[in-house]
Amino acid sequence: MRPEGQPSGVIQKAVSSPYSRIRDVLAISEFSNGPAPRQDQCTTESSAPSPDSKTDPIRVAVAGLGTVGAALVRAIEDDPRFELTAVLVRDPARARAVKPKIAPITDAAAFAASEADIFVDALSSDEVGLAVSRAVLARGKSLASASKRVIDAEYVALAQLARDHGAQLRFSAAVGGGAPVLETVAEARSAGNIARIDAVLNGTLNYLLHEIERGTDFQSALETAQAAGLAEADPTNDLSGADATAKSRIVAAEAFGHAPDDYPVMVEPLTPARAAEIAASGVRYVQACVIKPTCATVSLVPADGFAGDVPDGEGNVATIALEGGQRFSCHGPGAGGEPTAEAIMGDLRAIAAELAR
Among residues of the chain, what percentage have pLDDT more than 70?
85
Give residue 269's pLDDT band: very low, low, confident or very high (50, 70, 90): very high
Could you tell me the sign of the dihedral formed by the alpha carbons of 93, 94, 99, 102, in that order?
negative
Average pLDDT over residues 230-252: 94
* 187 contacts 38 by C-beta, under 8 angstroms: no
Domain limits of the chain?
21-178+338-355, 181-333
Mean pLDDT of the chain: 85
Dihedral of the CA atoms 102, 106, 111, 117 (nearest 10)?
Answer: 30
pLDDT 10s digits, 241-251 = 999 999 999 99
Residue 147 predicted with pLDDT over 80: yes
Using alpha carbons, select from 72, 196, 64 the residue that is nearest to residue 133.
64
Q: What is the pLDDT of residues 26-58, one digit of tens each?
A: 332 333 454 444 444 443 333 344 544 457 899
**CA dist., res. 33 & res. 171, Å (int):** 6
Domains 21-178+338-355 and 181-333 alike in fold: no
- The domain 181-333 is classified under which CATH number: 3.30.360.10, 3.30.1330.10, 3.20.20.70, 3.30.1280.10? 3.30.360.10
What's the gap between Cα 45 and its chain centre? Answer: 20
Contact 25, 160 (CB under 8 A): yes
What is the DSSP code string of 65-110? -SHHHHHHHHHHHT-TTEEEEEEE-S-TTS--S---SS--B--HHH
pLDDT value for 33: 53
Alpha-carbon distance of 104 to 111, in angstroms, equals 9
CATH no. for 21-178+338-355 = 3.40.50.720
Note whether 75 and 345 are within 8 A (CB).
yes
Residue 89 has pLDDT above 90, yes or no: yes
Name 127's Cβ contacts closer than 8 Å, sequence gap at least 6.
Answer: none
pLDDT in tens, 181-200: 999 999 999 999 999 999 99
